């Protein structure tokens, strides 16, 4: 079994636990440690793992850590690439939970606009309020978070699209300098 698969399986088995490159190297006996770093950067680039600064579940040090969230996530095996000159490539499908998706959008917006965002009801008509997913403290930026996929039978998700259209309608009814 390749070291890439060993690391990926180890992280999948520990759903959500975060491990630094040093601890992965020691636990999985992969030496030199730089090999773990290179593999984890490759897995991150292929969207197979998460990788950012955080607290290691093993050594409790604040470092760059690696983890996999198995819930709502499928990881497919290696498949042939579309490019006939490339042997194989890793393919992944990531499905974040709605809360996790919204939290990531919130973090991004707060970093980008240097403002706090929270759920907030805004008036969209006479005596009608809609609870928007993310609204800046000054109400200048309003965001609705929607993350949809095709149905299991690969059909067009008409009910989900109706909900997205409704969200767009509500966005059109408010006064904000930026709407997403």
Domains of the chain in sequence order: 3-94 (1.10.10), 98-179 (no CATH)
Average pLDDT over residues 164-173: 91
* pLDDT tier, 74 (very low <50, low <70, confident <90, very high otherwise): very low
* pLDDT for 80: 39
Q: 140, 120, 142, 141: which is closest to 130 by C-alpha?
A: 120
The answer to whether the predicted template modeling score (pTM) of the entire model surpasses 0.85 is: no
Query: What is the spatial distance between Cα 27 and Cα 7, in angstroms, rounded to a whole number?
Result: 10
Query: What is the spatial distance between Cα 1 and Cα 61, in angstroms, rounded to a whole number?
Result: 29
Name which residue leads in pLDDT, 28 or 101. Answer: 28
Query: What is the spatial distance between Cα 56 and Cα 169, in angstroms, rounded to a whole number?
Result: 44
* pLDDT for 109: 92
């Amino acid at each position: 079994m390749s070291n890439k698969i060993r690391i990926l399986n180890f992280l999948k088995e520990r759903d959500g636990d975060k491990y630094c490159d040093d601890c992965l190297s020691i636990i999985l006996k992969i030496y030199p440690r730089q090999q773990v770093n290179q593999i984890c950067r490759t897995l991150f680039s292929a969207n197979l793992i998460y990788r950012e600064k955080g607290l290691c579940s093993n050594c409790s040090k604040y470092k760059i850590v690696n983890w996999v969230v198995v819930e709502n996530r499928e990881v497919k095996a290696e498949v042939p690439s579309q490019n006939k000159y490339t042997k194989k490539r890793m393919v992944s499908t990531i499905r974040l939970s709605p809360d996790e998706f919204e939290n990531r959008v919130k973090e991004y917006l707060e970093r980008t606009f240097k403002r706090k965002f929270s759920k907030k009801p805004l008036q969209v008509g006479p005596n009608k309020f809609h609870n928007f997913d993310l609204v800046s403290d000054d109400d200048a930026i309003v965001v609705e978070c929607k993350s949809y996929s095709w149905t299991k039978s690969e059909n067009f998700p008409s009910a989900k699209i109706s909900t997205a259209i409704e969200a767009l309608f509500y966005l059109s009814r408010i006064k904000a300098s930026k709407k997403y």
